[in-house]
Structure 1
Amino acid sequence: MPFALYMLGLAVFAQGTSEFMLSGLGPDIAADLDVSLSTAGTLTSAFAVGMVVGAPLMAVLGRRRPPRTALLAFLVTFLLVHVVGALTTSFAVLLATRVVGALANAGFLAVALVAAVGMVEPHAKGRATSVLLGGVTLACVAGVPGGALLGQSWGWRSAFWAVALVSVPAVLAILRSVPAGAPAATQADTRAELRSLREPRLMVTLLLGALVNGATFCTFTYLSPVITDVTGFSESWVPALLALFGVGSFIGVTVSGRFADARPVPFLLTGAVALLAGWALLALTAGNPVAAVVLVLVQGALSFGVGSALITQALYAASGAPTLSGGFATAALNVGAAIGPVGGGIALAVGLGHRSPLWVSALLVALALVVGAVALLRGRGQGPSGNDSRWSSPQVNSATQRRG
């Protein structure tokens, strides 16, 4: 893999830390800014909504600039809004900074996904995607627990300062390692790309990604109160268990990168069934410390393994939209990241208890399985687009391109 790809992963690490760290900071933010826990949870949803809106919009804007210029503009904006977030005493201002930061993050990730797959051979999109998303999983392993530790030691604002500081070397690394290139707008017509994004197989894949990611974010946003109020661990255990979820996510992304290019349907079907069983089992056994620890690791692996494979399939399915595919894949995943915490927050607000986000996660994955099964049955075992059972493998795409 090219060195520049790992530098993009470094920037994604900083951004992933920001996106996920609120799972360990929510109670402190709620207390400091005098809002409820469910209201504090809307910070995660606001970030996700910003990414949903921003991903396609920023992808269109970004394609008018050379990739390195677009990446730097998005990352510097992301850095600055975290400085504002660290300084504010207003929940409304903090909420606004999350939306602006999400727009910048969405633009960066949309451009980075396209840039990453453009750095490798056409049949290696899964591996390139796994390297890039490795930054997200490392954020779960080190960044998110580190943010929780900072929050416990020096207050939640210190975590925002840390994200801003980590972004600085990422800016310098991208400036030195990512080729300048030409504006992407000279390579394809925007309207033609938008038309290609209506392809049925792609729409199904994006919907599945939204549902699976919604399940992940639903539980992850409220994992801290599950760990403390249901399992019975003290607050000092929260960073360690968040890190354990991150270790699992890194394992899942790594494994996904090896299978998503060759045998996506068997991998996705097996992984989704296991994911559904895992969320239900965690909801039932969350009061048992041993079971909770094991399932936090397992669910981290399954959630990110299945989610990463779906991103890869979206990129394969959107071959006719080389500059906008990353934006729409990012938007779909963050539709899930928006509805997941909202669903968990509603369950908490109506008094269903701290286990309820786990059941909401199980429900979302079950819905994804139903949608996927219907799509496969309608294609009579050939996948949503009429391709063979490998769904959208590079071998199929390459053969199609040769015939064209």
Structure 2
Amino acid sequence: MKRKLFPLALGGLGIGTTEFVMMGLLPDVARDFSISIPQAGHMISAYALGVMIGAPLLVAGTSRMAPKTILVGLMLLFTVFNTLSAFAPNDTILLISRFMSGLPHGAFFGVGSVVASRLADKGKQAQAISLMFSGLTIANLLTVPLGTYIGHTYSWRFTFGGIGLIGLITMCAVYLALPALAGSKTSNIRSELKVFSRLDPWLIFLITAIGTGGLFCWISYIAPLMTEVSGFSESTVPYILMVAGLGMFVGNLVGGKLADRLKPLTACVVLLLAMSVTLALIFFFSQSQVMSLVLTFIAGSCSLAIASPIQMLMIQSSKGAEMLGASMTQAAFNMGNALGAFLGGLPIAAGLGYTSPEAVGVGMALTGALIAWVLIIRRKQVVAVSRQ
């Protein structure tokens, strides 16, 4: 990894940990506050809602500011509210803290994606973005399982205290080690907001929000799926999350190279179709422990492989407002998080079992692929008209 991208990867490590560790801690949080697992799943949705609101709100109009200044401020918010989550006295306060800690998430990845692409070698922009996201994949490989283990063995509060520490270290690394890049001298909030008047960014937003929602239908309830359906003991959940994390690590690297070699939009269609097939297989074969582990790896790979292609696609479609556009993608990812956790919880609450969210996930992933296909057709039509 290039040393100048390390602070971005470190930020991805902290963000990835706080976003995904709650999935493994749902039983612990539910037990501590005497609430149901679907109610505890609202903590996931609250965080995602914070990302959706914070991403455009904290980025709009900041393109004139130095990216380093923006990133330091975002990690300060991240550190404060994740630390507050560790001291939440009840589920309502934790819900609020999770919402607030989600605010800087999308903005950090949005600004960081543009910074990574500007620091990248020519023709390797998507791979540079994937290096930033490698921190998120390492989180799923190491710190999410570790945080889950700490939560199961000691207290989930210690996990969030550790996340706050990662945020503090990241803030220092960004300040000390990230190269200084100038903000745009010509951009202003009015010109940036014009991105919302274009159709392509909105279609990309829908592809991301709906398509990746299928992933979150699965991973939001992976702990009860593995214990209640696959028959694993609760103590093995951290290791199962490591399998998912390894898949995410591999998938992220593959996705970055795929986006640089193929058209990002084509890569998105292929990966969403692969995700839908994988979720269908999880629905039918979760009773087998061996198949569950294999499919956990594959689903993890599909989930993060799409990150770099979709981010590059949005940056290319948001000329003049790249940071805002990239942050919109992160808001969309977390709308998918919120939708997946909510919609996936509905059939569980209806008594249909812990494999039922995967059926919802298949539909969401296929819908995302369909929208991506519509965008492909639209772009071909635009090219054909321009040649006339």
* TM tier relative to shorter chain: over 0.9
Does structure 2 conserve the Cα–Cα contact (< 8 Å) formed by 1:213 and 1:307?
Answer: no
CA distance in 2, matches of 1:182, 1:130: 23
Does structure 2 conserve the Cα–Cα contact (< 8 Å) formed by 1:114 and 1:325?
Answer: no
Does structure 2 conserve the Cα–Cα contact (< 8 Å) formed by 1:4 and 1:174?
Answer: no
Q: Is 1:207 paired with 2:244? A: no
Deviation at 1:6?
1.9
Q: Which residue of 2 aligns with 1:73?
A: 73
Runs of 4+ in 1 over 6 A off after TM superposition: none
Q: Which residue of 2 aligns with 1:326?
A: 326
Q: Which residue of 2 aligns with 1:235?
A: 234
Which amino acid in 2 is paired with 1:324? Answer: L
Deviation at 1:314?
1.2
Q: Is 1:341 paired with 2:341? A: yes
Deviations 1:51-91 (A, max 9, x none): 11110111125435322222111112211112211112111
CA distance in 2, matches of 1:307, 1:362: 18
CA distance in 2, matches of 1:125, 1:358: 33
Q: Which residue of 2 aligns with 1:30?
A: 30
Does structure 1 conserve the Cα–Cα contact (< 8 Å) formed by 2:107 and 2:330?
Answer: no
Q: Which residue of 2 aligns with 1:196?
A: 195
Which segment drifts farther, 347-356 or 16-25?
347-356
In structure 2, the CA distance between the partners of 1:66 and 1:372, relative to structure 1 (3 Å rule), is: closer
Deviation at 1:3?
1.8
Q: Is 1:269 paired with 2:232? A: no
In structure 2, the CA distance between the partners of 1:196 and 1:78, relative to structure 1 (3 Å rule), is: closer
Secondary structure of the equivalent of 1:327?
helix
Deviation at 1:369?
2.2
Q: What is the correspondence of 1:103-252 to structure 2 with a 5 Å cutoff? A: 103-121=103-121, 123-184=123-184, 186-252=185-251
In structure 2, the CA distance between the partners of 1:280 and 1:326, relative to structure 1 (3 Å rule), is: same
Does structure 2 conserve the Cα–Cα contact (< 8 Å) formed by 1:56 and 1:328?
Answer: yes
In structure 2, the CA distance between the partners of 1:332 and 1:232, relative to structure 1 (3 Å rule), is: same
CA distance in 1, matches of 2:334, 2:382: 24
Deviations 1:362-388 (A, max 9, x none): 110111122223333455xx2x85489
In structure 2, the CA distance between the partners of 1:318 and 1:339, relative to structure 1 (3 Å rule), is: same
Which amino acid in 2 is paired with 1:270? Answer: V
Does structure 2 conserve the Cα–Cα contact (< 8 Å) formed by 1:141 and 1:245?
Answer: yes
- Equivalenced residue count is 385
Q: What is the correspondence of 1:348-359 to structure 2 with a 5 Å cutoff? A: 348-359=348-359
Q: What is the correspondence of 1:238-387 to structure 2 with a 5 Å cutoff? A: 238-264=237-263, 265-379=265-379, 382=380, 386=383
Does structure 2 conserve the Cα–Cα contact (< 8 Å) formed by 1:47 and 1:99?
Answer: yes
Which amino acid in 1 is paired with 2:260? Answer: D
In structure 2, the CA distance between the partners of 1:61 and 1:33, relative to structure 1 (3 Å rule), is: farther
Deviation at 1:302?
1.1
Deviations 1:227-260 (A, max 9, x none): 0000000011101111111110111110111110
CA distance in 2, matches of 1:111, 1:29: 32
Q: Which residue of 1 aligns with 2:21?
A: 21
Which amino acid in 2 is paired with 1:286? Answer: S
CA distance in 2, matches of 1:61, 1:2: 29
Deviations 1:195-229 (A, max 9, x none): 13433333222211112221112211100000000
Deviation at 1:318?
1.5
Secondary structure of the equivalent of 2:123?
helix
Secondary structure of the equivalent of 1:324?
helix
The TM-score, its normalising length taken from structure 1, stands at 0.90
CA distance in 1, matches of 2:330, 2:384: 24
Deviation at 1:179?
3.1
Q: Which residue of 2 aligns with 1:87?
A: 87
In structure 2, the CA distance between the partners of 1:124 and 1:152, relative to structure 1 (3 Å rule), is: same
Does structure 2 conserve the Cα–Cα contact (< 8 Å) formed by 1:255 and 1:305?
Answer: yes
Which amino acid in 2 is paired with 1:144? Answer: V
Which amino acid in 2 is paired with 1:74? Answer: L
In structure 2, the CA distance between the partners of 1:197 and 1:4, relative to structure 1 (3 Å rule), is: farther
Q: Which residue of 2 aligns with 1:397?
A: none
- Structure 2 stretches lacking a partner, 5+ long: none
In structure 2, the CA distance between the partners of 1:387 and 1:227, relative to structure 1 (3 Å rule), is: farther
Which amino acid in 2 is paired with 1:81? Answer: F
In structure 2, the CA distance between the partners of 1:377 and 1:64, relative to structure 1 (3 Å rule), is: closer
- Structure 1 stretches lacking a partner, 5+ long: 389-399
Query: Aligned Cα RMSD in Å?
Result: 2.0
Deviation at 1:118?
1.8
Does structure 2 conserve the Cα–Cα contact (< 8 Å) formed by 1:12 and 1:135?
Answer: yes
CA distance in 2, matches of 1:77, 1:385: 42
CA distance in 2, matches of 1:387, 1:177: 47
Q: What is the correspondence of 1:59-70 to structure 2 with a 5 Å cutoff? A: 59-60=59-60, 62-63=62-63, 65-70=65-70
Deviation at 1:262?
2.6
Which amino acid in 1 is paired with 2:300? Answer: G
CA distance in 1, matches of 2:195, 2:56: 14
CA distance in 2, matches of 1:181, 1:204: 30
Deviation at 1:2?
4.1
CA distance in 2, matches of 1:69, 1:350: 47
CA distance in 2, matches of 1:217, 1:387: 37
